[in-house]
Amino acid sequence: MRMQKFFYACFCFWISSSSFATNVDPYSVTLKAREANVRVGPGSRYPLAWKFIRPGLPLMVLAEVGTWRKIRDVEGAEGWIQQNMITGRRTVMVIGQKRALLKKPDPNADVLAHVEPDVCARLLEIRGNWVRIRIERLSGWLPRAHVWGISKEEKEGRF
């Protein structure tokens, strides 16, 4: 009887202290903190996996537990971060190679600048297969396939 009570108490403690993740349709956020710890689980008691030190990085949220968010970065690494380290302000990252930033969403449009890979930019608009971005004071268009930080299900809109 004593052993049953012990196991019951352990079970109740486990249930009360466990975190049950709510999977969500992936959505985009941006790292706002200058430094942010990424953990292997949803809580400060979990070991540190790595640390972000670059504000403005686009991230995808995959699951939620309380104030913790399971995120994926551009390299595919996943971990847990506190909600107050991210913002809904949208950014994207240029991927692949150097890309031509265009004046209009047209492959024949005038080139405004060339953008290096891994540059983060503010997302302004999605229009079909095109995105309008801002890098410092310059805004222009890139094909959607040339940036990371937009879910496949995401429709047209302004941000």
**pLDDT tens figures, 62-94:** 999 999 999 999 999 999 999 999 999 999 999
For the chain, list residues with pLDDT below 70: 1-20
Q: How many CA atoms lie within 13 A of 68 on its CB side?
A: 20
Q: Read off the tokens for 27.
A: 């959505």
The pLDDT of residue 19 is: 52
List, in order of start, the domains of the chain with CATH numbers: 2-88 (2.30.30.40), 92-158 (2.30.30.40)
Enter the pTM of the model. Answer: 0.83
